[in-house]
Amino acid sequence: MLKRAALLVGVLLTVTAGAKPYVVGGTLASVSEAPWAIALNNTQSASSSGRYCGAVLVAPNKIVTAAHCMDEAVSTYYAVQGRADLADDSTGQTAKISKVWVHPKYNTKDNRYDFAVLTLAKPFVGVPVLPLETRTRADRAGVVPTVYGWGDTQGTGPDETLQKAAVPDLGDSTCTANQSYVANGYAAATNICAGYVEGGIDACQGDSGGPLVLNGRLLGVVSWGQDCAQPGKPGVYAEVAAAAPTLQSQLH
């Protein structure tokens, strides 16, 4: 199982080998179309830009990311908004993290409820926020949400630059039919199975915690996968509607 976080110095956050560090097969996205897309950077990142995980602004002072991204000291994280190219520190704004809340049902064995809510030390005032999806029926086969992130492109796009990709919802049965996915904790009630059976387009390492968006709402966050963009190995997203009441209680 691959957790789609980025690299810290000397530390690869994977459970299985073979992972590559972006949205694979995506296209460039602008910060104006996704102002709520947040790069959750870390001062200990192997990248000079600080790239580590993705996140999404859900209130002026709150961001949602993946729980598995939060394995370093709080003081080492900072949020970046409005910066399409993470190497260009002349654009966008940053804020340190003052508080971290991890979903109480999250654990590293099955990776369900892979959510963390972070409080910004300085709110991103005047930036549109993305509302949470609260309807479990929104996760259904045939809809086509979009994933955003600065993660590994495997050469399909520029490094550390905001990308987007349409990833069809394949329905839970596609992932539950894969015994290795079930063994790694995939559950219909708490996960979304999205991508392409033939591979080629997918979230990847460095995209963890980034938003999966459908109809202007946060449908899910990037959680894990097996390799990136490989045939028969779609992406796994933490389903927001399954945890919406608990998440909303942290946004005040």
Find the catalytic residue in 45, 47, 49, 68.
68
- Is-catalytic flag, 114? yes
- Is-catalytic flag, 159? no
Q: Which two tokens stand for residue 103?
A: 């979903």
Nearest to 81 by CA among 250, 251, 211: 211
Question: CB neighbours of 11 closer than 8 A, spacing ≥ 6?
Answer: none
Find the catalytic residue in 45, 47, 49, 208.
208
How many helices and strands, by DSSP H and E, does the chain display? 3, 16
- Is-catalytic flag, 169? no
If one counts every other C-beta atom within 10 angstroms of the C-beta of residue 137, the result is 7
Cβ(60)–Cβ(251) below 8 Å: no
Find the catalytic residue in 114, 159, 202, 227.
114
Overall residue count recorded for the chain in this entry:
252
Question: CB neighbours of 7 closer than 8 A, spacing ≥ 6?
Answer: 13, 21, 45, 46, 47, 205, 206
Q: Catalytic residue numbers?
A: 68, 114, 208
